[in-house]
Structures are given as C-alpha cells and as structure tokens.
C-alpha cells in the first residue's frame, strides 16, 4: 500500500501534475497552518510531509512519529525548527539546486524593471499618463552580490554573461562602484537586519537594491528612509518580514513609494522550478523509505540521532 504524504496546499497546487500521478506514494493535499496540518497528519496516518515557507514551531513535530520526514519544498529552511525536529527523531530535508535558475532570473528581472522604471511606467500608462522615463542600462554597471552561494553565483553569471555587467562578491569596501546590490543570504540570527542604516550608508547614492532572499535580512524602516531620501534609486523586493506585506512602522509603508517594485515571493515560482522541487522532495522521501540516509539532503544532520531514528519507523 502506498505511503501517505501530506503536501501543503500551495505546494501541491504548484506541482499538481507530479504529486497527483504518483504511484509509489499517495500524495494528499493538506492545509498549511500548523494546527490544521497536525490534525490532518494524525487523521490520515501520515509519516511524510512536504511543506513550504510557513513557519512551524511545535505541533507539527509532535504529530509525526519518530523516523518520519519533513521535506521542504524549496531551499531556505528557516521555517523549520531543526533542533526540535531532531529531538523528536524527525528527518528534515530541502531541495538544493532546484530553484537556482528561477530565482536568479527573477533577480535579473527586478534589476531590469527597476533600472528602466517599468513599474512607474506601467502604472502611468494605464492611467493614460504618457510620460517618458530616463532609465539605466545594465551593461557595464557593477553588481555587488551579497551571499555568493549557488543562487548568488548564478545571478552573477547571468549578469556578466548576459548583460556585460561587472560582478563582485560581497565586499562593502568595493560598494562605492556598485550600481546594483543583490541579496542572496539566508535568514539566520547573524543576518537579521543585515541591510540596516549603517550598511545602506555604505552603498553609493543612486544604487538599486534587489532582495529575492529573505525579508528578515533587511531593516525595512531603514530601507524606506534610504528610498525617500534618494540614497537609493530604487528597490526590487520579492520577500518581506511579514508576508503578505505589513509595514514595520506607521508612516513607513513601502507600498506608497513609486521607486519600490514589490512582488509576492514568486522568485522560485516557475513551472520548471516547482517540478524540480517536487521531484527532489519526493526523492528525499524515497531515500528515507530505502534507508539511504547518507544520500538525503538532510538539513538537521547535526541535530538528529540518525541510527535511533532509522529504527523508529
């Protein structure tokens, strides 16, 4: 009999064709909120679960038996409590490499849109305001990549090979030359509000900031101030501290600024990337079923007693 897998509803819909045609597993569309997901797991005898970016803090880990799997549909895993999962004997995985191209392309798209002021042009044109905007070319400009992991490196490759940009890794001593700064660092205690008043002051006036990484790495109030004062030309933002977006302070609503382009955390949402993430998550689950733990993309390897957990289920 196929193993039941709970797939949170947004992720199920993103890769419906893959999840619905499984024969080795019975993929069930499940609610995303933690308490509802935990109830669903218990009612449907689920021992494997695939989740998105939602933050899970307690009940999920108690609902699954030791030896079960929490498979992240994506790369960033700040929403999963690895220590709590490990204490409960749960294997946690992610899907590295599956979304590199999609996120890098989105970062480039935001750069282009901000450089040519396409957001403002689109709003004005629809309002029958026919107004010329003088933008920037990407060719020959310097792009500073903050976070030179796989996605950051792919963004740099696209910028250099496709647009003739000069690319540098994170080095704020070189920030004076940067026309664009693209963020690709994870959300960790050490990176919270990494882009703050001080670091924004090191970025040259007139630069464009792009964030397709995580909302918590940017002090949104500091960013608002920099944009209002024209310390930055513009910002292209796909991620926010609160999603859907909620201003951090009264009177500092990024939505009110014409030089801010906002999207709804869609950098990895392409059909191609969603398919790869689904296949990778299912592969991790299959490897657990076959006890090939060393081949899994474990993100809590340090927090779990692998041998004991393997015997539990």
pLDDT value of residue 240: 98
The angle formed by the CA atoms of residues 82, 29 and 8, to the nearest 5 degrees, is 30
This prediction has a pTM of 0.93
Question: 77 lies in which domain range?
Answer: 3-98+271-312
Do 86 and 116 belong together in one domain? Answer: no
pLDDT (tens digit, 9 = 90+) per residue, 258-292? 999 999 999 999 999 999 999 999 999 999 999 99
pLDDT value of residue 171: 58
Catalytic member of 17, 137, 198, 243 = 243
Which candidate, 141, 148, 176, places its Cα nearest to that of 162?
141
Do 145 and 294 belong together in one domain? Answer: no
pLDDT value of residue 170: 78
pLDDT value of residue 36: 98
pLDDT value of residue 205: 87
Contact 81, 56 (CB under 8 A): yes
* CATH code of the domain covering residue 276: 3.40.50.720
Do 121 and 253 belong together in one domain? Answer: yes
Q: Which of 166-180, 192-206, 245-259 has the highest mean pLDDT?
A: 245-259
265 included as an active-site residue: yes
In 139-270, which residue ranges form alpha helices assigned H by DSSP? 150-163, 197-202, 220-228
Do 41 and 122 belong together in one domain? Answer: no
214 included as an active-site residue: yes
d(CA 87, CA 82) in angstroms, rounded, equals 9
Number of folded domains in the chain? 2
Alpha carbon of residue 93 to chain centroid: 15
Do 83 and 113 belong together in one domain? Answer: no
Do 160 and 185 belong together in one domain? Answer: yes
pLDDT value of residue 44: 96
pLDDT (tens digit, 9 = 90+) per residue, 141-176? 999 999 999 999 999 999 999 999 999 997 554 555
Do 139 and 171 belong together in one domain? Answer: yes
pLDDT (tens digit, 9 = 90+) per residue, 96-115? 999 999 999 999 999 999 99
pLDDT value of residue 150: 95
Do 256 and 286 belong together in one domain? Answer: no
Do 289 and 247 belong together in one domain? Answer: no
Do 130 and 197 belong together in one domain? Answer: yes
- Packing angle of the helix pair 150-163, 100-115 (nearest 10 deg): 50
d(CA 211, CA 234) in angstroms, rounded, equals 12
Do 239 and 284 belong together in one domain? Answer: no
pLDDT value of residue 176: 55
What percent of the chain has a predicted confidence (pLDDT) above 70?
A: 98
Work out the pLDDT band at 2, boundaries 50, 70, 90: confident
Position 128 pLDDT exceeds 60: yes
The CB density around residue 2, as the number of other CB atoms within 10 Å, is 10
Which candidate, 237, 244, 247, places its Cα nearest to that of 217?
237
pLDDT (tens digit, 9 = 90+) per residue, 33-71? 999 999 999 999 999 999 999 999 999 999 999 999 999
Catalytic member of 72, 77, 184, 214 = 214
Q: Is the peptide bond before 247 cis (omega within 30 degrees of 0)?
A: no
pLDDT value of residue 84: 97
Catalytic member of 72, 231, 265, 288 = 265
Contact 50, 29 (CB under 8 A): no
Do 167 and 238 belong together in one domain? Answer: yes
243 included as an active-site residue: yes
């Amino acid at each position: 009999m196929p193993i039941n897998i709970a797939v949170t509803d947004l992720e199920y819909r993103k890769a419906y064709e893959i999840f619905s045609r499984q024969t080795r597993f019975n993929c069930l569309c499940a609610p995303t909120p933690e308490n509802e997901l935990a109830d669903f797991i218990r009612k449907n005898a689920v021992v494997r679960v695939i989740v998105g970016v939602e933050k899970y803090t307690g009940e999920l880990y108690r609902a699954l038996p030791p030896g079960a799997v929490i498979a992240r549909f994506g790369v960033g895993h700040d929403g999963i409590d690895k220590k709590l999962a490990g204490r409960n004997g749960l294997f946690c995985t992610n899907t590295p490499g599956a979304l590199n191209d999609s996120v890098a392309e989105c970062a480039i798209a935001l750069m282009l849109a901000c450089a040519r002021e396409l957001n403002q042009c689109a709003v004005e044109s629809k309002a029958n305001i026919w107004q010329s905007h003088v933008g920037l070319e990407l060719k020959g400009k310097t792009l500073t990549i903050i976070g030179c992991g796989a996605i950051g490196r792919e963004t740099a490759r696209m910028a250099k090979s496709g647009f003739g940009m000069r690319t540098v890794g994170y080095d704020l001593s070189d920030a004076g030359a940067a026309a664009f700064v693209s963020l690709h660092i994870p959300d960790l205690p050490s990176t919270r509000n990494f882009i703050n008043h001080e670091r924004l002051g090191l970025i040259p006036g007139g630069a464009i900031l792009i964030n397709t990484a995580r909302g918590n790495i940017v002090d949104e109030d500091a960013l608002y101030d920099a944009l209002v004062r024209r310390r930055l030309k513009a910002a292209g933002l796909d991620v926010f501290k609160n999603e859907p977006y909620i201003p951090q302070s009264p009177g500092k609503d990024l939505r009110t600024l014409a030089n801010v382009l906002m999207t709804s955390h869609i950098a990895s949402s392409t059909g191609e990337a969603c398919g790869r993430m689904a296949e990778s998550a299912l592969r991790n689950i299959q490897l657990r079923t076959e006890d090939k733990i060393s081949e899994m993309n474990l993100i809590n390897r340090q927090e779990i007693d692998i041998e004991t957990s393997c015997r539990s289920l």
